[in-house]
Amino acid sequence: MLKRRFNRATGQNTHWVATDLGANIHAEIEHMKKMRMKRGIRHGLGLKVCGQCTKSIGRRGGALGVERKKD
């Protein structure tokens, strides 16, 4: 269960249960992207959202190496 502090549609506090949780969170993220909010933009780019540092922590993907010559 997740407490949603403000529901845009009704203006009230609601609780989301597991059956609706995934769809509701996806709809919220899509709304943030559509409204061009900072959180929505960062979700769309696959970056950290909640203010974490991104210089050295959280790098994804393998390191690029040097290919050796074939003999």
pLDDT single digits (tens) 14-71: 888 888 888 888 988 999 999 999 999 999 988 888 888 888 777 776 566 677 777 7
**Tokens of residue 64, six digits:** 């690029």
State the pTM of this model.
0.63
Q: Assign 3-class secondary structure to the chain.
A: CEEECCCCCCCCCEEECHHHHHHHHHHHHHHHHHCCCHHHHHHHHCCCCCCCCCCCCCCCCCCCCCCCCCC
